[in-house]
Amino acid sequence: MPRQDMLRRIDGDTPCPISPIPAQAPARPALVGWLAVLATVTIWAVWAVATRHAVTHDLPPSAIGLLRFGVPALLLLPFAWRSGLFPKGLELPKALGLLGSGAPFFLIVALGMQFAPAAEIGPLLPGTMPLFVALIGWLVFGEKLGRLRMLGFALILIGVACIGGYGLFVTGSGAWRGHLLLLTGACLWGIYTHAYRRSGLSALQAAALIGLWSFLILLPFGLPPLIRAIGNGLAGPLVLQALLQGFVAGVAGIVLYGIAIDRLGASRAAALSPLAIVLAALLAIPVLGEIPDAAAMIGITLATPGVVLASGVFTSASRS
């Protein structure tokens, strides 16, 4: 077909059988998804170090949680107002799965961060999230697991066992309590991942709903220590935590993660989560003065490739 005829057919009413535009369209959602994942894991690393610093200094978890969810509750109030506190069509199990990633997740993880160093937070929290996502998908929804993913899960479990065993049997530091709490938080996030995929809500709607409900739950517990902290001259750290916890993690993190799930799927969205493991360990050195010990380095070394394999990204690529 001559180029002039092809252009006339594009401009006219008759559909053109050859067009370069649709061929490029599928790549754009995937690129947006990968960029969203990259931004999300960076936010996770910064959030982990900032939260570890806050809970080990002057602020209790309930006060930090109030900042964490108060800002998104305020910024995303129009979306919550539109959908309501009880969105139509959202079943109770799915709603509880969404809410589990809010106040319960934050309080459990923040309490765990009081015991576990920042270098161990990465392998135990974002590092095990793909494991729980896959296990829930396998046990509850009948999703199949390939050999590469099983190998990845084994590497993650060995890495977690190295970290947990060192803290429990060698150092006797009591860090094992933090390890269990962090693993519980990762399980809650895995439940949220599947609940969000089946909720029918957009990323902004889910973030607004989680933020508003979590703010209401934490208000009676977090407001008194927050007022005391302001009276003690901690207004500056509170503003910084409100920015990091509320806007960066509370709004941007949840929205970007939701976009990544929408564009890539839950398993592929977890493919870059090892970056959060490494970044958190590196940021903790200058910010917290925490140098990873041998057990943490072994755990990071094993969990990082394990998360990549467990995410299923290679399986998806081979099928494509």
Q: Give pLDDT tens digits for 257-301.
A: 778 878 877 667 766 767 788 888 888 888 888 888 887 888 888
Question: What's the mean pLDDT in 193-221?
Answer: 89
Sequence length of the chain is 320
Contact 237, 58 (CB under 8 A): yes
Name the percent of the chain lying above pLDDT 90.
Answer: 11
Number of CB atoms found within 10 A of residue 71's CB: 23
From residue 18, alpha-carbon distances to 21, 22, 24, 28, 46 in Å are 9, 9, 13, 19, 47
What is the value of pTM for the model shown? 0.77
- Chain-centroid distance of CA 133 in Å reads 12
Confidence grade of residue 224 (pLDDT, cut at 50, 70, 90): very high
pLDDT band at 53 (very low <50, low <70, confident <90, very high): confident
- Rounded distance, CA 59 to CA 61, Å? 7
Least confident segment among 1-10, 105-114, 142-151, 301-310:
1-10
Task: Please determine, for residue 184, whether its predicted confidence score (pLDDT) is greater than 90.
Answer: yes
In this prediction, residue 219 carries a pLDDT of 92
Q: What is the pLDDT of residues 129-180, one digit of tens each?
A: 878 888 888 888 887 777 888 888 888 888 888 887 666 555 556 678 888 8
Give the chain's mean pLDDT.
80
pLDDT value of position 159: 85
Spatial separation of the C-alpha atoms in residues 200 and 206, rounded to whole Å: 9
User: What are the pLDDT digits (tens) for 54-88?
Assistant: 888 777 888 888 988 888 888 888 888 888 888 88
Max mean pLDDT range (45-49, 143-147, 183-187, 278-282): 183-187
Average pLDDT over residues 183-191: 92
**pLDDT value, residue 258:** 79
pLDDT at residue 27, as a whole number: 56
Residues with Cβ within 8 Å of 140's Cβ and at least 6 positions away in sequence, in order, are 194
